[in-house]
Each structure stands twice: as C-alpha cells, then as structure tokens.
Structure 1
Amino acid sequence: MAKTRPTRNRQAKTRRADNAGDTAHHGLPIHEVVLLLGTDAARGLGPDEVARRRPQFGANELPRAHGPGIARKLGRQFNNPLVYVLLAAGMVTVFLGEFLDSAVILAVVLVNTLIGFIQEVRAEAALDALHSLVRTRAAVMRGGERKQVPSEDLVPGDLVLLGAGDKVPADLRLVRLSALRVDESALTGESDPVSKDEVVLPRLTAVADRRNMLYSGTLVTAGSGAGIVVAIGGETELGEIHRLMGTVQPAATPLTLKLARFSSTLTVAILALAAVAFLAGVARGEQPGQMFTAAVALAVGAIPEGLPAAVTVTLAIGVRRMARRRAVVRRLPVVETLGSTTVICSDKTGTFTENQMTVRSVWTPSGTYDVTGSGYGPEGHIRPAAGGERQADTATPTREIEDEALRVCLLGGAACNDSAVRREGSSWQVRGDPTEAAMLVAAGKGGIIVSDFLAANPRGAELPFTSERQFMATLHASTHPSGGGTVFAKGAVERVLDLCRGEMGADGDTRPLRRHVVLNAAHAFADSGLRVLATATMSLPVAGGSLAAAELRGRMTFTGLQAMQDPPRQAAAASVQACQQAGVAVKMITGDHVRTAVTVAAAVGLAADSAAGTALTGEELDAIPAGEFPDAVERATVFARVSPEQKLRLIRALQARGHVAAMTGDGVNDAPALRQANVGISMGRTGTEVAKEASDIVLTDDDFATIEAAVEEGRNVFDNLTKFIVWTLPTNMAEGLVILVAIVLGAALPILPTQILWINMTTAVALGLMLAFEPKEPGLMSRPPRAPGRPLLTWALTVRILLVSALLVAGTWWLFDHELNNGATVAEARTSSVNLFVAVEVFYLFSCRSLVRPAWRTGPFGNRWLLAGVLVQGAGQLALTYTPLMNDLFHTAPIGPDAWLRIFGLALAASLVVGVDKRLRRQGF
C-alpha cells in the first residue's frame, strides 16, 4: 500500500473539514482513511515514522493558555471606586497621624482583595482539569508489535487498541471491533452506552451519531476494537471544547454589577460632600489645611467601611446554609446570583432523573406487571399492574412468581448479562452496561437468585451484542447428570421476535406467537418514553460448546418484555413547580433523544411538544435564522440532541434577552456553557472534574430540588444584604452631614472623627452583621425574580435612607445644643450624640429585619444573634461612656440618667416615624 506523509496543515485542514462536512473521517471508507493518514490498518505506523511525525504534530495534549501573572491578578482586585476612596482615605489618615483610622481602612481593603484573588485563581482551574482528562496510557500497534505508550506520545496515523474499561486517548476512526460499546455521555450527553460499528456514515452526521468514531476522553464499557488516530490534542472534539472554554469569560454577577454602580454613585456623593465642606470652610475664612483635615474626616465618616465585610460575611453565611442543603459554592458572589436567576437550563440525566436505569414494567403473554423501587438497590417488588390482562386477587407485592413466563423473562435478562451490581459503602455501583444492570436488579426484586442458576448452569458459549445483530444470546450447560442446556436471548423486540416460533404462557407451556400483540405492547411502552428489551429462551437436549445465530432463528420461545427508564426524581416535579411559581423559567438542555427528553419533561411538569416548537433538536436549532433564534429559544422548554457549541449559543441567547441564566451539567460537553452561564451548576456525584471546575456551584446529591433550595437561599442572601445597606447608609450619611453643618456654621463638632470610627466599626460588627443571620421571610419564593437591571436600592428605600439620615442629623444637633445649653461640657454633649447615633441604629435595626412588615410582626426571638449583638453593643456603649480609659481614647465623658431618657426618647420617635413610612410605602421594595 502506498503511503503518504501527512503534514500538520493537512491534518488541521482535515479536522476543520470534519466540522464542515468535507472529507470527514466518519464519511470515508476505511481504506481512504488509511491512505489519507499514510498508515497501515493492521500493523500501524513504524517507529521511525512516529519519530518523524511527533515534531510535526506535537504532543497529544490540550494547549495551555497563559493567563495574567500574580501581580496583575492582585491589581485587578483594586478596580473598584469604593476601594479607591478607601485607599485614598487610608493614606491621608496616615499623613495626618490618625493611625487607628488608617489601619482599620487598609485591613478592610486587604481582606476583600485577598478574597477576590482566591476566587480568580480557582476559576482558572477549569482549563487545567481538561488536561488531566486526556492523560492515560494507550495500547498501540507500532510496526506490527503491540506496545503501551503514554497517550501524549500518540500521533495521527497510530493504530490504537481498546478494550472494556479503557479511556479513549484521541479521536479514532474504527477499523475493526467486536461488540464495542462506549460511554460518550461526558462528551455528547447521550445517557446510554453507544454501540459502535464500521459502517460509512453521511458526512453531515452529528458527533453523537458517529458510530464509526471514538472520541478522546470517552470510556469503553464493553467489547473491544481498534482505530486509527485521526486527531490529537487541540484538534480533537475535546480540543474544540477546550477552545470554546478559552473564549468564554464568566459573566459578572448581578450583585457585582449592582455594587459597582452603587459604589460609583456613593463615591461621587462622598467626594462632593467633602468638597462642599472644604469650600464652605475656606469661604468662611478658615485655614485650608484645617479644612482639608475636616473634609477628610467627613469622607471617612461617610464611607461605609463595614459594607465590604458585611457583603463577605453575608455571602459566607449563605454558602454555609447552601452546603447544609447539599450545594457547595465555589464563588462567593454566586450565592446571591441564584436569587436573581430568571431561567434555569438543566441537564436531564442525573438532575431531573435518578441517572440509574430501572425496569418499571414487565409484559408477558399472560399479563403486565409493575416493578416498584428505583435505582440499583434491591428495594422493590413485582406485582400485577392495575388494569392488566392478568389480575391477582390481591395487590400485595410478593416474591413468589406464579407466572412462569415472568420468571423466565426475569431469569433470562439476568443470566444473559455481562454486568454486575455491587454495594460500595452506602450506594450501589454498576460495572458494565446500565441497561443490563437494571435487568439484574429486576430479577432480584422477583426473588430470583441468579448466582444459584449460574452455579448449576454455567455459561458455555455466547453471542455478543452487535449493532447488526441487535441481540445477545448465552448458552448455559446444565451440571445435572441428565445434561442438556438452556439458551437465553435478549435485545431489540423485532430482532428477538425473529428468533421465536412461539410464546410462553403462565403455566410454562408454549403456544403460537402473537407477534402483533407483542409489538403493540412494545410500542405502548415506547410511546411512554420507556426503553424496551425482549427476552426469549429455548432448551437443548445436548449443550454443545458453541452458539450460532442461524441455529436460533425460528426455534426460540418468546417470554416477555422489560420496559425501563431512568426514572424522574421524586422531588423534581415539585421543585420545577416551585421555580415556576417564583417566576423562574425552567428549560431542559440534553444531548439525549428528543422523545426521551419530552417524556421526562412531561413527568417533571415541563410542557414540551416538537410540533408546537417547544421541543427543539440541535438540527432544528441550526436551521433557525439568526434573527429568529432568541425568540425560538425563549419559547422552547426542551432542547434535545444539542452539541457543546449549541449549548453555549443557547445560554448567550438567553443572556442577550436580559436573563440571568443558571446552567446545570455534568459532562465535558457542558463545560463551556457552565462557564458562560451566570451560575454554572455541576453534579458532584456523576459530574466530570472538568464540569466541576468550570462551575460555580457543585450539587453533592445531583438533585434538581437542591437547585430550587439554592435559589431560595440566594434570594434570602440578597434580602439580607439589602437590609444591611438600608440600615447602615443613614448613619454614614448623617455623620457626614453633621460635620458639614458644623463646618458651614463654624460651630463645634457634635461628634469627632475618632467617635465616628467607633460608631461605624462597632455597630457594623455587633449590629449590622447580625442581619446576615436573618431567616427567610414568608412568601420568598412566591414573588418574581428581581429584574436584572433593577438598582440595588429602589426609590422607596432611598427615601427611607434619606428620612432616617435627616432624623439623625436633626436629633443630634438638637441633643448637642440642648446638653450644652443645660450646663453639660462639650465632652458630655458629644458623648450623648454618640450614644444617640447608636440608640437610633439599634431601634432602626429591628425595623430593618423586614423592609415591608412592621417590626412587631417579625417576632423578637426570630434572630437570636441580633439580640446578642444588641447586648454586646450596649456593653460597649457603657464602657465608652463610663470607663476612664475609653474616655481618654475617644474624648467621652459620663452622662446622667436624664440624658439617657432624652436619647431613648429620640430613638423611639425616629422608630415610630419609620413605622409610619413603612405603612405608607408598602410597594416598591
């Protein structure tokens, strides 16, 4: 055979053509692929040729992207207007000798910078996980000799040998195989192992349907085969996903965007306030240096130093609550983003379903039977179905089988079987094909001990399942002295019926085969979204050592149908309904077949119909004009047989329409969309490491119900953050305005900068942060999600902040003047002013536990952390007022009981005014 030496350009061209439908390897006969790649289908490449090609094509590994260095990553964390002001204030306070102020401010900046840096480093781990996915050792033929080589040493043209349990090391065109089945779920989303063959396919065949190809990163579950390497490294389908991930920049979270806009607005307001104070003082004839110091003090007072810490702590508490509900959060801001989610795009397998194939019904010529229980555990029974042909006197489940056809059907499905189910820890694990595992479990539920049968009737020969034959058969020779043997077959209904001459009755006798009745029953199961396999048997007087398909045709007895599915999770339907009631749209995106997807969608409460355009396939998506694509995506609820590129396009289309999109997935094919989504959610049990690293949240139970719970927690987090901001801003604003008024009037300051710092830091920690522990309010999941463009503070909340700030300014000046006019010293008057600020904050804190409901309806013991914080703050205020050390440090002085009465009277009055405002402004929050 003449050989041609491919070049790297030819290989790249071939890889690109594979996508376009030109000279695609799956569309070429084997001899043309061999010729194109200059190899030998039996002997593989010679060692010298491999050595020549390796520099040409490089290593079989995914390219590594070089991201920004550590310094640049750290620098990016400071890109926030509020951080700029904090840094400037910190430096100025150092220059002015206010070292306590500067230390606190700079510590806040450092903590938030470190958190952001850690989050960015974690995000980059997604691409690294892809590199580990393709590393393995491969068996190859080199010059006619079988060798084991590292997967990174493969070159195009290598002949790779594969068996059950092997990971596919590169993209291969199959040249020979034997009963080869491959788990491609991580790449394509196909839930069942795929049977492979060598047939030439149309060049436009989708990746998921290319039966003559094997793709890097997938897993051989059964059989064996050999294939020629047609693509390595970045040129593989896995490499294409790697390229897609490299082009995706994670979307900024709504909280990040809102805080950025809020920080910018707040920064402008603080700087404007400080500038007014400076200019007013200079205009009154004060020294510019003194006015600059006063302006800095005003800015420090107006900056909500506790806000960054409050955001971090509130999100961290949300992370802990989500972890208790089996959702592990990898990026803090995403906690709140879930609460803003307007659409959830969920994978089918393992999220809406159990990801455990389960036999649901068994049909025999004498009756229909229901199989209870789900998954691979032995819990469950087999009992006559309601309305079936054969009825029992009682619906009580039993393991005593009276229908002989049912017993043989179950036994045949378990004996003609290459899988195993074993208990590992608290869960049941499958080795082999999930469909065969389901038949093993069904036999156990019927009380059949397969091991006893196999001990007495060991397997002597078999016909493995192939895509052409579409059935498997096994011969079991009896160890009894009488000899003989039994043949079992299982497979596609039509193919098994072709083997049969009759059907088995309940008494075990054979009667004429009613083919049309069997087919009608099979079609009824299939229309319900169930996968159906048929079983048959025959007895041999003498068991030989071989089995041929021709010997079985027309000689076997049909015993029954086993209908199975990956059952929907019990809580999925209720969770979907809860999300829809909360205004969150739910869509299913899967690589599985559209009929299977629509059936599962209906079971969990998602209406989908191919004819109505609410269920679309990947092929149909490609046919939709670009201008109509967003509308079609908005209408549809199920997307089936979609590729990684299409998943990414779907998420981008939803985001372009203003949605905050959450995406779930478990496979490599989901990784680009997971990274693009506002919230990427991966499966902790069945998910690949690539999917986990690309996601923001990992579900430890792979359950859609956990997503609904996480959305609820996310909404509560945003509520509590809003409550903190509405609570803290009036104090900061009032502190700045009090100083501004003093400068403008040329009067003594009612509160000093050091006292402002005391108020801000102690109340933020002891009082404000306690709002992070606030429990969920009633009706949290009954209201629609917040519009993505809605500001952090609505107009109604802004008015409330201004109202409380005005009450604080007016009350402070009245109290300060009253104390001075009644003989108090300046230190005593300032101490009263400081305590008034804190007292108003305490009363206002209880009001902020709900932004709509009156304080008395929230319950005094609903948040015990808040009560503890009030006690701690009260002790601190007493120490500030009455201990000599604190008097010296903060320029305070002891005050009498009458001053306390005035303080609490003003605080109570302010609280009553806020209560009236709540009653008048129930909307707009």
Structure 2
Amino acid sequence: MPTTARAEQSNSHHDLPIHESVLLLQTDPERGLGEHEARERETTFGPNALPQTRPTGPLLRLLRQLHHPLIYVLLVAGAVTLLLGEHVDSAVIFGVVFVNMIVGFVQESRAEAALDALRAMVRTEAKVVRDGVSRTVPSERLVPGDLVLVEAGDRVPADLRLVRLSELAADESALTGESEPVVKDEVVLPPATPVADRRNMLHSGTLVTSGSGAGIAVATGAETELGEIHRLVGTAEVLQTPLTRKLAWFSKVLTVVILFLAAITFAIGVVRGESGVEMFTAAVALAVGAIPEGLPAAVTITLAIGVSRMARRRVVIRRLPAVETLGSTTVICSDKTGTLTENQMTVSRVWTPQGGYEITGAGYSARGDIVDSAGEVLRPDTMPSALRWTLLAGASCNDAALHHDADTTTVVGDPTEAAMLVAARKAGLVDVPPRTDTIPFSSQRQYMATLHTPEPTRPNQHGHVVFVKGAVERVLALCGAELGPTGPRPLEQAAALRAAENLASQGLRVLATAVAEDVPAERFSEEALAGSLVFTGLQAMFDPPRPAAASAVRSCREAGIAVKMITGDHAATATAIAGRIDLLDGSADGKVLTGAELAEISEERLPDAVREASVFARVSPEQKLRLVEAMQSRSEVVAMTGDGVNDAPALRQADIGVAMGRGGTEVAKEAGDMVLTDDDFATIEAAVEEGRGVFDNLTKFIVWTLPTNMAEGLVILVAIFVGTALPILPTQILWINMTTAVALGLMLAFEPKERGIMRRPPRDPRRPLLTGGLVARVLLVSALLVGGSWWMFQWELAIGAGLPEARTVALNLFVAVELFYLFSCRSLTRSVWRIGWFSNKWVLGGVTFQIMGQAALTYLPVMQGLFDTAPIGLESWLRILGVAALASVVVGVHKRLFPQVL
C-alpha cells in the first residue's frame, strides 16, 4: 500500500462518496482488510486507544502539597523549634503540616481519574471482516480501513463511514447532546456538516440502538471525535476555586507580614543588647503565634461538614472546595436533557379529525388522563373512535417495551415509541392485536407499518388490520381518507398539516398514525398501502420539564444567579423547554443562539453575546468549552452541568463541574467536582444554598481566629520593643491556638444557615476574602486583646504576682476574649440575641470543653510543668471576665454601627 495512503487518518469522510473513502483507505467494502495488512497498519497507526500521559508519581504529588507560603513558614518554624529542643512545639507544627499534605494528596489523586474513564470507553470487543471472514477482535486492534460490523446494543469502537445498513439508529447523546436516537443513512453530506448531523457516520463511544450495519473505520484512537474530546479534557485548565484563590492571596500577604514582624522583633532585640539566640526564639514565637495553625484544618472540616449536609440533599461532593464554590456561583450552565427535563419522552397532545386532546402525566408512568377541549376526562367507553384508533396505532405499530421495577421504569427500544405505549395505557388500551408482519421504519421510507390479526371485539372483521405511524407528510401521502365521527370521510390534508405545524412550533415532536381494516395478508406491501389508509390523527410528544425546574430557575434568578441552557438539541425543542420553565423571562428575542451562530461570533464579541443569551442550542463540545471560557473572561464563577462524554471538557474547565449521577456517563462523573444523585436541576439550587452557608461559616472562622493570631504576634513585638519579659510563651501560644481552634472555632462550622441567604446576590468573585468592614473588626479585636492582655500582665506583676502567675492571667485572658467573641461571630451582622443562644448546641459544648481545659491548664500540676503556668485567684478571674465582657460590648457596638460588613 502506498505510504501516502496511510500517512494520516481522518474522521471527515462524511462528505465523500463511499467509493472514494474505500479508495482513500485502500480497503475492500466486502472483504475488509487482509490480516497481514491490518497488522502493518496497527504498527503504523498504533492501538485504537486514547493516548495516556505519563502520570505524576505519588511521591512528587505528595511533595507538591508543601508548595504553599504558610507551609514554608511552618516548616522553618518547626525545624527551628526542633533544633532548640522544643519538641512539643515542633511536633504540633509538623503534625499540622502532615495532615494538610495528606488531604491535598488524596484530593489530587481522585481528580486524575477523569482521563482514565475516557480511555476505558473504547476498551470493547469489535466485530470486523478481514480476508472476507467475520471475527471478533479487541477494539484496540482496530485500524483505519477495517470493515466493522455493528448491531443493536453494540458500543461503536471507532469512527465509521457507513457502507451499508438496515434500519440503523444510534444513541449519540453522550457525544453530541442530541436526546433522540439518530437514524442513519448512506447519503453524502456537505463538508461543513456538524458532528450531530453526520447521518452517514458512526462515532466511537456511541451506542447502536436499533438495526444493523457495516462501516469502514476512518479514524481510530486519538483521531476520533472521542479522541478530540479527550484532548480538550487534557488541555482544559483545572481552575482554582474562589476560596482557594482568595486563601492563596491571603496566605501570601499574611506570610509577608509575619516574616516582616519576626525580622523586626529580632532586630529590635539585638539592637537593645539582648542575646541573639533568645531573640531568635522570640522571633519564632511571634511567627508561630501569628500563623493561624488551625485555619487549614478548619477549612477542611468546615467543607467536610458541608459535604455531609449536601449528601442529605442528594449531592455527592468529589472535591471539597466545590462546596464553597457553589456559594460563589454567578452563572449556572445547565444541560437540557435529564437535568431540566425528565429525560422521558411523553405524549402530551393528540389531534384527530374529530378534535384535539391533552394527555396529563409525565414520563413513563401510566398515571394520567385523556382530557378533551371542554376539560372533560374521557373514559375508554366514551372515547371518540379517531382518538382510540390513533392511540391503538401508536401502541401496536411499536417495537419498544417497558420494564417496571420497584422504583424505576426501564425502556427497551426507542423513547418515542415508549411514549406512545404509555399514552395508550393511560387510555386503558393495554392489549394490542397480535402482529403477523412488519414493514420496518427506514430513513427513506419515513414510516413503519405492521399487520395484525383482527381484534376479538370485532367478529365481523374478516381481514387483517394494518397500523402505520411515521412522518406527517409521508403518512398523509398514503391516506385516501380520514376518520370522522361516523366513519371514513374525504381527507382534509391541509387541516392536518396546519395542526402538525402548530404542534411542532411548540417544540413538540409530531408523528401521524393511520389504519386500514379488512386487509388480506397477501396484500401487505409498500405498494398496496398507497391510498388505502385512513388517517386517524397526530401524536405530539416532548421530554417534559422536571416539576421543580421552573421554581428552581426563579430561585436562582432571585439569588442573582444567571441560568443558561446549553444543549445539543435543536433550537425549537430547546426554546420550547426554556419557555416552559421561564428561562427566557417572557421573551425569546435575542435570547437563543445556535452553534452555527456562535461560530460566526468573534472572540471579542463572544462574552457580551453569551451574557445576553439564555439558551444555546445545537452546540458542539468545543463550543461548550468556548462558552465557559467566555463567561470566565468576565470574572464569572461558572457552574456547568452535564452527563455525557461531550460535557467532560466543559465540566473540567468550569469553576465547578456538576455531573449527573443517574443518567451520566462515568467520564462526566470523573470530570465533575460534584455529582447529583437525582439528576435534578432543583438539587443544584439546594447545593448553592448549602455552599453559601459554608462560605459564611468559613468567613466567620477566619474573622474569629485572626485577631488572636495578630494579637499574639503583637504582644511579643511590644514586649521586645519595651524590653520586658514575654507576657506569653511559645508553648502557651500553641496551647491557645490549637485548643481554641478545635473547641471553639470549629464549632462555627456547624452554624445553621442564616435567614435570607438565598435572597442575597452572589459574592463578587473579585471581592477580597475579608471586606474593609471585616478587616476593621479584626483590627479592633486585636487591639482589645493586645491592650487587655498587656494591662493584665503588668497589673499582676505590679500587685506582687510572680511571672508564671502573670503569664497565666494573660493566657486566660486571650481565651476568655476568644470565648466571648465566638458568640459575636456566630453572625457577622446580627446579635446572638436575634439568632438564638441555643440554635447551635455545638458551640455550648465547645465552650464547656474549653473552660475545663483552661481549669486543668491553670490548676493541674502536670499541666503547670508542661506550660509554665501557675494557679490564680478569684480576683484575677473577675478581672479577666470583666475585660472579656467589655471587649464583647465594644464588638457589639461596632456591629450595630457598621452592620453591612459582608
């Protein structure tokens, strides 16, 4: 074979006649490749598998978790304290570092599974013809030019140009987002035909739903459409979440401030003539005190509690930062099928020459009624003949089946035919006449016909019954009459076409039905059907919106979150669903963009166009990714939902990827940050609410813990500057930081969500972690702590107390102020009297535990030996409580004067 013939492979054969594809690939459409030639091509093109990148080793991924400014400071502080013999201090510091390292390592390991899931999709068996003999080979062995055989139920192993087929249809929803199975044919298509419309191709990773066929493999491995998505997933940047971005900036600033203060402390002490070793120890004490050691653990635990709460609301979080990201979300991009809709086709309207009818109920449940134009519910014995024959034709001329389990209904066959079965059952038509022959549906024929034995209820009928369903124009062309109230009458084709057009304009899929009675079995043929049928009516169906979708969209809009539908379905279908859930806000003008229109929009204009539109229909995987990037270019925090392989790149690129748990592919689940166990858009609204609560609680913890760390560092700095003994020692600082973080600060993670949380606009992504009002509050409490502890320390020394007693008083003052301040931090804008003292019982438990710890630290001899403390009297405790109460009052006044701190 010439070298040029196999220099490259291409999946763009949809625009070539079959004979040109055969010549280009140097193959045989009947005998396939020779086995020797196939082995040569396998050497040339490689295995039919998605490429694997060299994975990062576990040791490197583990060490990468240490790449953080605050971690650097902690490592240095831990090493110095170890060299100075402060083994307790060193152990605590290294313990915090180790825990954070393990948590990050586990999260990153789980995130790497997305590409593995994509690769697993092509590890199937394939039926190929080689040397004229059909055989089964591993899909990895397929090469361009192979003749591949497929039938219903097969997973397509490569991109195939069809050379022959029989009633072939494929479910390509995972690749294109198209909710309906795509009927295939061999017609040559224009070069610009998008993937979703390439009817003469089968694509790797899709599923054959009916019929059979044979195709030439035109692309394998990374060159397939699935391989292109794999490339997009691999290149899509895994963005930092709003929290991690803000914490990274905050950590860098805090690190610079801590190192600056430590350096000043050391320099001032040396200038004053103090020992360099002692000053270095003091500088380390300042650094350890100023670093919020409990912050990493608090973030992890608060997010984990959010994960638990979301699990109760049918949300599974795969990556912890996704919890708070939802709380900052400004745009939700939702798939249509299965998320905003039920993903269950439903016949909702029936039109017959005798009138129009509505069918209530949704999905594959038989619960529902037939309602006429006057609003009357029809019973089987009062049903007009045309309506009965229409529903019976849809159920009889049908290859689908419904299997009912305890909680679910499984469809075998085409969802459209399943919808017709359900409609007939709602009318009480459970049993259909036995079928004896079939003219199957084909894209050329555009209808299906079945021959049935006479109904037992019609003893005077001697011949068979023919039922037909299919495209409206095609079925009407076969009819010579229509069914009126008294029997067949002349066909009014124009009226039927107007009714069909009206139903289609509402985003409904419309099929026509017809019947012929007393037909001899030997006359059942395509030629005999022409002109012999009686038109009975139209069935119109759609994938109905989920019951809670409209209210969830409205709630998101009230919360300041834009909702956008991004789907591979047709624009009319997407617009109809968007209208039913109020996504278009009453107007479709300028609100809907198709993939073709997106392709014409420049990169500069795209962000504005995306902001104005609410629905994006018939979009490709690359365009989904482009849409997400366009929104992020406007600093939006984007949540992207999806269930198919085609959604994986956008799920990974989005700030938070939301995968569907029931109907989603494993690829989507692995690429997403969270999974909805019920596939319901309304669950996203619940997750947003939980995410906002988590972000609030994290902010409360940071506002609560920073004053202590800042004050501890400043107390050390003031002592060195004045030239007196340290009011608190490094071991005492570690006791304060670790015990209060666990017993007091972490209790804020259990704080209930505040009222009106979903009536607030989302946080501006550009807004800092701490607003100016919160920074002022942190500085205020820090000043109160520094001033109070310094005054108490000096007071105790002035009245004759020893240095250990004075330090014990200062230590307990720090804890007492933190304890009182904790109640204030339960809400950043309202007083504890308004939110309720007992609405968070965890806080009361933590306070009790901390008080017991302080008593043990102060009065137990073993604790006194470890932490250099001493017993103090009642008067000292009263002064401590007085200062703490005063600090609480000052904070309350500040909160009252400046309530808008968020």
TM-score (norm 2): 0.97
2:154 is aligned to 166
Sequence identity percentage: 65
Secondary structure in 2 aligned to 1:274?
helix
Q: Does 1:869 align with 2:846?
A: yes
Match of 1:475 among 432, 451, 458: 451
| Aligned-partner Cα distance in 1 for 2:527–2:392 | 23
Secondary structure in 1 aligned to 2:336?
coil
2:203 is aligned to 215
| Aligned-partner Cα distance in 2 for 1:398–1:828 | 90
CA contact (8 A) 1:360 1:563 kept: yes
Q: 1:440 to 1:5 in 2, by over 3 A?
A: farther
Match of 1:426 among 401, 407, 423: 407
Mapping for residues 190-209 of structure 1, pairs under 5 Å:
190-209=178-197
CA contact (8 A) 1:827 1:892 kept: yes
Q: Deviations over 1:91-130 (max 9, x none)?
A: 1111111111111111111111111111222221111111
CA contact (8 A) 2:5 2:26 kept: no
1:673 is aligned to 650
| Aligned-partner Cα distance in 2 for 1:400–1:127 | 58
Q: Please state how far the C-alpha of 1:427 moved relative to its aligned partner.
A: 0.7
| Aligned-partner Cα distance in 2 for 1:626–1:674 | 21
| Aligned-partner Cα distance in 1 for 2:626–2:587 | 20
Q: CA RMSD in A?
A: 1.7
| Aligned-partner Cα distance in 2 for 1:864–1:447 | 56
| Aligned-partner Cα distance in 1 for 2:893–2:819 | 18
Q: Does 1:543 align with 2:521?
A: yes
CA contact (8 A) 1:477 1:483 kept: no
Q: Deviations over 1:428-468 (max 9, x none)?
A: 11111000011111111111113xx3xxx321111111111
Q: Please state how far the C-alpha of 1:778 moved relative to its aligned partner.
A: 1.4
Q: Please state how far the C-alpha of 1:171 moved relative to its aligned partner.
A: 0.5
Q: Does 1:108 align with 2:96?
A: yes
Q: Deviations over 1:168-216 (max 9, x none)?
A: 1110111111111110001111010011111111111111111111100
Mapping for residues 142-541 of structure 1, pairs under 5 Å:
142-384=130-372, 388=373, 391=374, 395-396=376-377, 398-450=379-431, 453=432, 457-478=433-454, 483-506=462-485, 509-541=487-519
| Aligned-partner Cα distance in 2 for 1:768–1:719 | 13
Q: Please state how far the C-alpha of 1:495 moved relative to its aligned partner.
A: 1.1
CA contact (8 A) 2:462 2:518 kept: no
1:753 is aligned to 730
CA contact (8 A) 1:598 1:608 kept: no
| Count of residue pairs the alignment pairs up | 899
Secondary structure in 2 aligned to 1:510?
strand
Match of 1:633 among 591, 610, 622: 610
Match of 2:802 among 818, 825, 833: 825
Q: Which runs of 5+ in 2 are unaligned?
A: none
| Aligned-partner Cα distance in 1 for 2:228–2:586 | 32
CA contact (8 A) 1:608 1:638 kept: no
Match of 1:34 among 13, 19, 22: 22
CA contact (8 A) 2:369 2:377 kept: no
Q: Please state how far the C-alpha of 1:739 moved relative to its aligned partner.
A: 1.6
1:580 is aligned to 557
Q: Please state how far the C-alpha of 1:426 moved relative to its aligned partner.
A: 1.1
Match of 1:134 among 96, 113, 122: 122
Q: Which moved more, 1:812-821 or 1:432-441?
A: 812-821
Q: Which moved more, 1:398-407 or 1:420-429?
A: 398-407
| Aligned-partner Cα distance in 2 for 1:535–1:104 | 77
Q: Please state how far the C-alpha of 1:396 moved relative to its aligned partner.
A: 4.7
| Aligned-partner Cα distance in 2 for 1:266–1:54 | 57
| Aligned-partner Cα distance in 2 for 1:855–1:610 | 45
CA contact (8 A) 1:382 1:399 kept: no
Q: Please state how far the C-alpha of 1:474 moved relative to its aligned partner.
A: 0.5
1:21 is aligned to none
2:769 is aligned to 792
| Aligned-partner Cα distance in 1 for 2:463–2:239 | 68
Secondary structure in 1 aligned to 2:289?
helix
| Aligned-partner Cα distance in 2 for 1:784–1:547 | 66
Match of 2:673 among 653, 678, 696: 696
Q: Which moved more, 1:396-405 or 1:621-630?
A: 396-405
Mapping for residues 701-740 of structure 1, pairs under 5 Å:
701-740=678-717
CA contact (8 A) 1:534 1:561 kept: yes
Q: Does 1:805 align with 2:759?
A: no
Q: Please state how far the C-alpha of 1:569 moved relative to its aligned partner.
A: 0.8
1:778 is aligned to 755
Secondary structure in 1 aligned to 2:310?
helix
2:592 is aligned to 615
Q: Deviations over 1:589-642 (max 9, x none)?
A: 111101111111111122189984321111111111232222212211111111
1:22 is aligned to none
Q: Deviations over 1:858-878 (max 9, x none)?
A: 111111111111111111112
CA contact (8 A) 1:383 1:398 kept: no
Secondary structure in 2 aligned to 1:361?
strand
CA contact (8 A) 1:6 1:37 kept: no
Secondary structure in 2 aligned to 1:497?
helix
| Aligned-partner Cα distance in 1 for 2:289–2:700 | 20
Q: Please state how far the C-alpha of 1:154 moved relative to its aligned partner.
A: 1.1
TM-score (norm 1): 0.95
| Aligned-partner Cα distance in 1 for 2:378–2:533 | 30
| Aligned-partner Cα distance in 1 for 2:637–2:656 | 8
Match of 1:11 among 2, 8, 12: 8
Q: 1:803 to 1:611 in 2, by over 3 A?
A: closer
Secondary structure in 2 aligned to 1:257?
helix
Q: Which moved more, 1:72-81 or 1:175-184?
A: 72-81
Match of 1:95 among 83, 105, 111: 83
| Aligned-partner Cα distance in 2 for 1:290–1:901 | 34
1:905 is aligned to 882
| Aligned-partner Cα distance in 2 for 1:9–1:798 | 66
Letter of the structure 1 residue corresponding to residue 464 of structure 2: G
Q: Which runs of 5+ in 1 are unaligned?
A: 19-24
Q: Please state how far the C-alpha of 1:82 moved relative to its aligned partner.
A: 0.6
Letter of the structure 1 residue corresponding to residue 137 of structure 2: V
Q: Please state how far the C-alpha of 1:167 moved relative to its aligned partner.
A: 0.9
CA contact (8 A) 1:458 1:477 kept: yes
CA contact (8 A) 2:353 2:536 kept: yes
| Aligned-partner Cα distance in 1 for 2:511–2:56 | 55
2:791 is aligned to 814
CA contact (8 A) 2:290 2:713 kept: yes
Secondary structure in 2 aligned to 1:27?
coil
| Aligned-partner Cα distance in 2 for 1:50–1:240 | 24
Q: Which moved more, 1:816-825 or 1:374-383?
A: 816-825
CA contact (8 A) 2:506 2:572 kept: no
Secondary structure in 1 aligned to 2:872?
coil
Q: Please state how far the C-alpha of 1:381 moved relative to its aligned partner.
A: 2.0
CA contact (8 A) 2:828 2:901 kept: no
Letter of the structure 2 residue corresponding to residue 413 of structure 1: G
Secondary structure in 2 aligned to 1:892?
coil
Letter of the structure 2 residue corresponding to residue 793 of structure 1: L
